[in-house]
Chains A and B, each alone.
Chain A
Amino acid sequence: MRSPVRVAVFSAALSLSAGLLAGTALANDQLIQMSKDPAQWVIPGGNYASQRYSPLKQINVDNVKNLHPVWTFSTGVLRGHEGGPLIVGDVMYVHTPFPNKVFALDLNNEGRILWVYEPKQDPNVIPVMCCDTVNRGVAYGDGKIILHQADTTVVALDAKTGKVVWSVKDDDPSKGATGTSAPLVVKNMVLVGVSGGEFGVRGHVTAYSLADGKQVWRAYSMGPDSDILFDPEKTTSMGKPVGKDSSLKTWQGDQWKIGGGDTWGWISYDPELNLVYYGSGNPSTWNPVQRPGDNKWSMTIFARDADTGVAKWVYQMTPWDQWDYDGVNEMILADVNVHGKPTKALVHFDRNGFAYVLDRTNGALLEAEKYDPAVNWATHVDMKTGRPQVVAQYAPGQQGEEHNTKGICPAALGSKDEQPASFSPDTGLFYVPTNHVCMDYEPFKVAYTAGQPYVGATLSMFPPKGEKNLGNFIAYDVNEGKIVWSDPEMFSVWSGALTTAGGVAFYGTLDGYLKAVDMKTGKELYKFKTPSGIIGNVTPFMHNGKEYIAVLSGVGGWAGIGMAAGLTEDTAGLGAVGAYKALNNYTQLGGVLTVFGLSD
C-alpha cells in the first residue's frame, strides 16, 4: 500500500482513540505526528511499525553517486557501536556502548555539543555483557531522552539539558542481567527488555511510567501465568487458547527460573490495535539436553495489550532450541499483500533463517519461508502446527552431549541478527541485511552459578560449503515468499538497513563501507569507507531543507568477536581470498558518526 492512504487510516484511528481518552495527551500522539515528519527520526525503527523507511527523496538513484561525508563526530569510545542516532527538531542524540554516553548535538551549529550525559557504572558489568558492551540507542518522548544503561538502569534525561528526570533499576547485573536494547515510548510509558540469555537470566519486558519511572506492568517470557501475563482462555497460539500453565508445562523442574528467553531486541507498536510486539531469545543453557521440553515461551513472538501487558497472542518459532536461534529480531508491521490478499501483516526475519509472516491482528501464521537458501536445520515449517520440521542430522540436542553436530546452517548468529531490515511501501519489498555462516555445535553439561556464564556449548563457524561470502544484502517479497535479488558481501551484513523514496537503499558493511544500492535491482550506486566497521543502523534526516544520511561506525559486537581473526585458518580456504581473511585486516576499533550529504 502506498503511504498516503495508510497515513490517513492511521490518523483517523488515532483521533478516535484520543477522543476516547479525553484529556490525556499521550506521548504517542506527539510521536506519531513527529515520526510522520521526514526531517526527524524520533523512534529507533523510524516509526512504530519499525519500517526504517524515509519519504525523503532529494538523494535519489540519479545523484547518490555524488554523496559525500559532510561532517563527522568521534564518540571517543572504542567498543562496538550498534543502533543509530535520533533526530528531534534541530538536535541529534548520539549514544555509545559502555560507558553509555549520550551526546546532544546542535544541527544548527555544525554538530556542536549541547550536553553530554555519562552515567557512573560499576565496570563489573562489562564482563557480564554477552558479546561486547553494545547499546542499541535511546528513545524520545514528551521532552525526555530515555537511556537503557548496561547495568539495566533506565534513566530519563531532560532532552534540553541532559539533566536526570528520573531513574529506575530494571534488573540485577550481579546475576548477569544487562541492558543493551533501545527502549520504546508507548502511550505514557517506556517499554524495555533485558539481556542475559548466556547467564540464565529470565527475560521480561517492563513498562515504566514516562512521567516518573514507576512500574506499570512487567511480563516475563516464562513461568506461571501470573508472571507471563497470560489469560489461559483468551491468550491464543495458532488460533487456540493456550490453556493453564502453558509455559510451566514445557519445562523440567525449576529450570524455567534460569531459563533465559531474554528480550534484548526491538519492540514495535500498532496504535490502532493497541498491541506491542517483540520476540524472546534463547532458552538457557545452550545445552538442550539439560532442558528437555518446548521451553515456552522462549523463541516466541508476543503480541501484548499496551495498557495491561496481557498477551493477546503468541507464536513460538523454535520450540526446544538447539542452536541459539534467539527470536528477538525486529517485528516489521506492514500492510501488504500476502499470496495476493491484502493483509495487516507482521513480518519477522528470524535468526533461524525463516521469514515469518503473521496476521498481526490475531497471530495466524500465513507464511514461513527460508530467506537464505543455505538454511538446513529444518526442511520447512508445518503450517498447521506452526512447528519447524527439524532435520535430525543437524539437531545437536538429538545427537546428545559431547557430540559434535556438523555443518548446521545458519550458525548461532543466525541468518540475521539484531540488525534491522527495512520495508519500502513504494516497492512493497523488504530489504534485509543477512549473515551467510554455518557452524559445528557441540553441547556439554554445565553448572549454574548466579552471575556466571551459563553457556554449555562450543561452536565453530565457517561459510557455507563451497562459498566465500559471509553475508548478503537481499530484497525479499512476502507476497510470494521469495528473494528478489541478493548482493553478496565479503562479511556478514550487520548494519540496520534504510530505504528511501529516492529509490535508494542504504546499509553498512563490517569492513566499514556505507553502501547505497538501487532498490529495484540491488545495483551498487555509491560506497564510502568509513573509519571503522559498521554495525550501526543507517539514519536519514533533513536539516534546513537538505537531506542527510547518518551512520555510526565502530566495529564490535558478536560480529567483531566472531570475525576479527577470521573464521578459519588463512591457508584453509583453498587459496580463496576474502572470506577467509580476518576482519581485523580490514578495520580497527573506534566509534565515529559520519553524516553524508550532497553539495548544492
Chain B
Amino acid sequence: MTFARVLCLAWILGAASPIALAAEGDAQAQGNADAERPYKVVNGHVDRATFRGYLYYGDLCLRCHGPDGAGSSYAPSLVNSLKKLDKRQFEETVINGRKNVTTASENVMPAFGTNIDAVQHLEEIYAYLKARSDGVIGRGRPKRIGETDE
C-alpha cells in the first residue's frame, strides 16, 4: 500500500466512515460472516493473517493494552472490548483514536490513521484480537498452521 493511499484511507474514515469503509477494496470482498469470524484456526493453529495480527499487535498496541490484548493498568482489555465492539467501531477507534481527558482521567487512545503499519495491518490485528476475544486462541504467541507443535 502506498503512503498516499494510507493518508487517503485515514481521511476518508475520519470524514464519512460507513460508506467509505464499505467501498474499501480489501474489505469489500468479505461478506458479513467473514467479518464476524475473520480468522482461521485449525487445532489451535492460526492462518498467516491472524499471525501477522499478533505480530503487529505486539508492535503497536501491547505497550498500552498489555500482553495478548489482556488489558493493563493503562488501557482496557481488547479481549473484552471486542465482545461489544463490532468491526466497524473497532476500526474507527483505531484510525481516529479517542480522547477521554477529564479531571479524573487522562485516557488517550492514539489515532493510527497516519501510521502505515497500522492501517496496512488493521484487518489482521482485528482478526487476531477477535480470535482472542472469541476464546479460540489463548495467551502467548499463537502457532501458525503448518508449524510443528513442541
Which residues from chain A sit less than 8 Å from chain B, CB to CB? 76-80, 98-99, 123-124, 126-128, 130-133, 198, 402, 404, 440, 442, 444, 446-447, 449, 452-453, 455-461, 555-556, 560-562, 564-569, 572, 583-584, 589
With A444-B55, A449-B114 known as contacts, the answer to whether A131 contacts B63 (CB < 8 A) is: yes
Residues of A within 8 A of B83 (CB): none
Q: How far is the CA of A560 from the CA of B74 in the complex (A)?
A: 7
Residues of B within 8 A of A99 (CB): 106
Closest A residue to B147 by beta carbon equals A404
Given A442-B141, A564-B71, 10 additional A-B pairs, CB 8 A: A80-B73, A99-B106, A127-B97, A131-B63, A402-B55, A446-B117, A449-B115, A459-B58, A564-B66, A564-B73
Is B116 in contact with chain A by the CB < 8 A criterion?
yes
Residues of B within 8 A of A440 (CB): 140-141
Contact between A126 and B108, CB atoms less than 8 A apart? yes
Contact between B64 and A561, CB atoms less than 8 A apart? yes
Contact between A447 and B117, CB atoms less than 8 A apart? yes
Contact between A569 and B138, CB atoms less than 8 A apart? yes
- Report the minimal beta-carbon distance from A179 to chain B, rounded to whole angstroms: 15
Q: How many A-B residue pairs have CB under 8 A?
A: 119
Contact between B63 and A78, CB atoms less than 8 A apart? no
Q: In the complex, which of the residues A123, A447, A455, A564 contacts B63, with contact meaning CB atoms closer than 8 Å? A: A455
Is B82 in contact with chain A by the CB < 8 A criterion?
no
Is B70 in contact with chain A by the CB < 8 A criterion?
yes
Q: How far is the CA of A77 from the CA of B114 in the complex (A)?
A: 30
Contact between A123 and B99, CB atoms less than 8 A apart? yes
Closest A residue to B139 by beta carbon equals A569
Q: By DSSP majority rule, is chain A's interface helix, strand, loop, or mixed?
A: loop
Contact between A127 and B108, CB atoms less than 8 A apart? yes
Interface string of B126-150 (1 = CB under 8 A from A): 0000000000001111000000000
Contact between A556 and B106, CB atoms less than 8 A apart? no
Most buried by A among B55, B62, B67: B67
Contact between B108 and A123, CB atoms less than 8 A apart? yes
Interface string of B65-89 (1 = CB under 8 A from A): 0111011111001000000000000
Residues of A within 8 A of B27 (CB): none
Contact between B73 and A404, CB atoms less than 8 A apart? no
Contact between A565 and B67, CB atoms less than 8 A apart? yes
Contact between B59 and A458, CB atoms less than 8 A apart? yes
Contact between B106 and A444, CB atoms less than 8 A apart? no
- Report the minimal beta-carbon distance from A572 to chain B, rounded to whole angstroms: 7
Q: How far is the CA of A131 from the CA of B75 in the complex (A)?
A: 11
Contact between A449 and B116, CB atoms less than 8 A apart? yes
- Report the minimal beta-carbon distance from A493 to chain B, rounded to whole angstroms: 17
Q: In the complex, which of the residues A442, A461, A555, A566 contacts B55, with contact meaning CB atoms closer than 8 Å? A: A442
